[in-house]
Amino acid sequence: MKGKKRWNGNGKKRLLAAVLGLALTAVAAGCGGPTATPKQGELKDPPKADSGTAAGGAGTAAPAGRHTTYPLKVKDATGKEFTFEKAPARIASTSPAETETLFALGLGDKVVGVSDFCDYPAEAKAKPKLGSIVKPNEEALIAANADLVMTGVSMKADTVNKLRELKINMYKVEPKTVNDVMNNMLTLGQIFDRQDQAEKLVASMKADLKKVQDAVQNLKPEQKKKVFIEFSPGWTVGKGEFLDELISIAGGINVAADQKGYVQLSEEKVIADNPQVILYPAGIKDDKSNKTIDEIIRTRSGWDKIDAVKNGRLAPVDKDTTSRPGPRITSGLLDIAKGIYPELVK
């Protein structure tokens, strides 16, 4: 090959739309209870993830357990301080992960608008649409008249600030780890007076974490699989992002961990790294070739020499649960762990 061949396709659009908002670091971060993380929601008395009682629903009254004491002061991922005099009654979301969290907390009946990509749970599809996850429709956001608008990893801080200038009350989260995701849920449980439901969600996530950790805990260093993930055509992920952490928690070694953030892959580097397992999201196609990611992988020049390709270790994972840092992220972790160690994780 001459030089480093890169797959551009519609890369940036795919990166943001198909992964981060449909969302897109260490193993120890998932082992214990969530603790405060820089740039995440900060509470004067942060909630503990020790128990959970009431189940969440699509739209229910606040459970009979503990209730939030207002006024409540919270800082979001941008550092902006919010003072809540009561639980927001009208909520909008420009992020699929946050939409899932709102419904999981039993707040579906209070959601007055969602992004064009919010498709889970099914009830979210019927909500008024607010446009892109990166740059939503300003008129639609204003018309929604929401008390609070949730946004996530896909929206840049400058976009958030611009919307705030329009008097839209934007609250941003930016989780980098599973721990961050759980912390955010507990914080939202306090903001929306859904503490019991938030704690139950976190307890369920911790159970998924423990299942994976128990399954891979006896792996010796030489037994750990080298893993490459192509989460969108031509794109992989390095250290510092939750997808990298999921691979680590699952007992794998991310071959792209020597890079940082979301990066375009180098075909030559992947051949040299020689991963034993290649993970890819099922159902995503390249815009230009109309081929699925596994079809692209199998036909790349020289990739037939990679152990994962030679040995048939291309493992599909769910494109949503592995890319949306919300309540189903540990379900995505289980999916990744099964793809790497199907003999260990059932």
- Please give the tally of structural domains in the chain: 2
Q: How far apart are CA 203 and CA 212, in angstroms?
A: 15
The two structure tokens encoding residue 105: 């907390």
The two structure tokens encoding residue 202: 């976190």
Kindly state whether residue 6 falls inside one of the protein's structural domains.
Answer: no
Do 168 and 231 reside in the same domain of the chain? no
Kindly state whether residue 3 falls inside one of the protein's structural domains.
Answer: no
Kindly state whether residue 346 falls inside one of the protein's structural domains.
Answer: no
The two structure tokens encoding residue 206: 């911790």
- When the pLDDT of each residue in the chain is averaged and rounded to a whole number, the result is 86
Per residue in 177-233, pLDDT (tens digit) is 999 999 999 999 999 999 999 999 999 999 999 999 999 999 999 999 999 999 998
The two structure tokens encoding residue 186: 């507990």
Domain edge (last residue) among 205, 224, 242: 205
Q: How far apart are CA 155 and CA 134, in angstroms?
A: 5
Do 56 and 142 reside in the same domain of the chain? yes
Do 242 and 158 reside in the same domain of the chain? no
Per residue in 47-65, pLDDT (tens digit) is 444 333 233 344 444 446 7
Do 56 and 199 reside in the same domain of the chain? yes
Domain edge (last residue) among 205, 239, 259: 205
Q: How far apart are CA 228 and CA 225, in angstroms?
A: 10
Find the domain containing 194 and state its range.
34-205
- Give burial (CB, 10 Å; 0-12/13-18/19+) of 257: middle
Kindly state whether residue 294 falls inside one of the protein's structural domains.
Answer: yes
Q: How far apart are CA 54 and CA 65, in angstroms?
A: 8
* Cβ contact 205:194 at 8 Å: no
Kindly state whether residue 345 falls inside one of the protein's structural domains.
Answer: no
Do 186 and 64 reside in the same domain of the chain? yes
Do 139 and 274 reside in the same domain of the chain? no
Q: How far apart are CA 86 and CA 191, in angstroms?
A: 8
Q: How is the chain split among helix, strand and coil, in percent rounded to 5?
A: 35, 15, 45
Do 182 and 266 reside in the same domain of the chain? no
Between the alpha carbon of residue 105 and those of residues 48, 70, 94, 141, 280, the distances in Å are 16, 19, 17, 22, 30
CATH of the domain at 327: 3.40.50.1980
* Cβ contact 126:102 at 8 Å: no
- Mean predicted confidence (pLDDT) in 324-335: 97
Do 158 and 219 reside in the same domain of the chain? no
Residue 33: pLDDT over 80: no
Task: Return the pLDDT at 346.
Answer: 86
Per residue in 122-176, pLDDT (tens digit) is 999 999 999 999 999 999 999 999 999 999 999 999 999 999 999 999 999 999 9
Task: Return the pLDDT at 64.
Answer: 60
For a pLDDT cut of 90, what percent of the chain falls above it? 78
User: Coil, strand, or helix at residue 169?
Assistant: coil
Residue 32: pLDDT over 80: no
Do 233 and 167 reside in the same domain of the chain? no
Kindly state whether residue 306 falls inside one of the protein's structural domains.
Answer: yes
Kindly state whether residue 113 falls inside one of the protein's structural domains.
Answer: yes
Closest CA to 242 of 172, 113, 328: 328
- Of 25-34, 42-51, 74-83, 222-231, minimum mean pLDDT range: 25-34
The two structure tokens encoding residue 17: 């739309």
Kindly state whether residue 155 falls inside one of the protein's structural domains.
Answer: yes
- Mean predicted confidence (pLDDT) in 303-316: 98
Domain edge (last residue) among 205, 237, 269: 205
Do 221 and 127 reside in the same domain of the chain? no
